[in-house]
Copies of this chain bind each other. A is one copy, B any other.
Amino acid sequence: MKRHFLLAIALVVMGLSMNAQRGYMPPAVNSPDIARDGAVTFKVKATDADTVRLIIDSRLDTLMKHTGNETWSITLRDLEPDLYMYYFIVDGMKVLDNENAQVLRDVKSVMNTFVLDPQGDSPMAVHDVPHGEVRAVWYDSPTLGTTRRMMIYLPPGYEQSRQRYPVFYLLHGSGGDETVWLEQGRAAQVLDNLIAEGKAEPMIVVMPNGNVDEKAASSMSDQGNVQPTFAHKNWMDGTFEQSFNDIMNWVDQNYRTRAAKRYRAIAGLSMGGYHSLYISANQPDDFAYVGLFSPAISRMDQGKCKIYDDLEAKLIAQFKQRPKLYWLGIGEKDFLYKDNAEFRKLLDKNRLRYTYHESGAGHEWANWRDYLVIFTQQLFK
């Protein structure tokens, strides 16, 4: 017992000394400190600082208050339940919250994160419900001539059952990759929670990488120490759309899917909405459910690739086969609002029936997580 106790002490001392070296000190402050009523207090220790700011997503940029003992603090009381990303700026320098080990990446920017769930009912939070599996797989893309990485969500019970499942293809935006719907998008938590409550059907969710010049998210690729970027080659030039059948074929070959239109959905955000629009318009026999989340719509892509030609005629043909759901969501402050209004005019002019959801905020994840929750509940019913 004595030796074991000494070992425990040794491990703890080692832990502290190793981590003191590594920038981890025993927490001098507790941050973020989330009260039961949902008030969130952020604190940071900063010696001799003149100004300390807190930045939360694109929602807030505010000065923190010096509360003594070299600590700067602020309490926010009006945050909605959601996932948040934040950091501090100390005298002009971006600094992360050392007391919070949870971080996420937005394109190239790393931020701290937390999920606010004061009522215990946010679909973004992890709850005590059956959890699906998440897989990182590599598939063959004959069209692109390479193997590529994608993420797969399998609903709870998939491995134990012999059932076949519907498939939801969920596409990321420019600057994203195959990981982003699971990380910022909370796709696994949203699906787990909606399925547990009986609000969504058990389904397979497929999250491919829509940047055709990379095989995988930058840290998972053999293409070297490349940083994530908005600037991908073959960006929205039709290449991804043309290679999409490689993904569908691989999924149908490797999973127990219901490989028919009425059991297939496709949706995406921003660039992924653009991809979803054109893939579904060019493959009218493949998707009964289409979701355009703040889609980066351009109706003038003719000539760049045949996939973008004759959109109006293609939409008319697609809607003749009556998709079960054609869903369009956009924030009123989105810089793509006007483009989307024009796209709606095109649909209206042709009396093509779609569901329109207008929300607050702009081109951001707060909207896309909500759209995922709303859209997913309408699939395969």
Q: Which residues of A contact B (CB under 8 A)?
A: 1-4, 7-8, 10-12, 14-15, 18-19, 21-24, 32, 34, 46-48, 55, 57-58, 61, 85, 87, 89-96, 98-103, 105-111, 114-115, 125-128, 130-131, 133-138, 147, 149, 156, 159, 174-175, 216, 218-222, 225, 227-228, 230-231, 235-236, 254, 270-271, 296, 298-301, 303-304, 335-336, 339, 363-364
Across the interface, do B227 and A100 meet the contact criterion of CB distance under 8 Å?
yes
Across the interface, do A105 and B101 meet the contact criterion of CB distance under 8 Å?
yes
Across the interface, do A4 and B103 meet the contact criterion of CB distance under 8 Å?
no
Across the interface, do B15 and A107 meet the contact criterion of CB distance under 8 Å?
yes
Across the interface, do A102 and B218 meet the contact criterion of CB distance under 8 Å?
yes
Across the interface, do A135 and B138 meet the contact criterion of CB distance under 8 Å?
no
Docked Cα-Cα span, A360 to B4, in Å, equals 26
CB distance from A138 to the nearest CB of B (A): 4
Across the interface, do A7 and B109 meet the contact criterion of CB distance under 8 Å?
no
Cross-interface CB contact of A1 among B46, B156, B218, B303, cutoff 8 Å: B303
The complex is assembled from copies of this chain, and their number is 2
A22-B58, A24-B106, A48-B91 known; 15 new pairs, CB 8 Å cut-off, are A1-B300, A1-B303, A1-B304, A11-B271, A12-B231, A15-B174, A15-B230, A18-B364, A22-B106, A23-B55, A24-B108, A24-B109, A94-B98, A131-B147, A135-B136
Closest chain B residue to A40, Cβ basis: B225
Contacts of A109 in B (CB 8 A): 19, 22-24, 98, 101
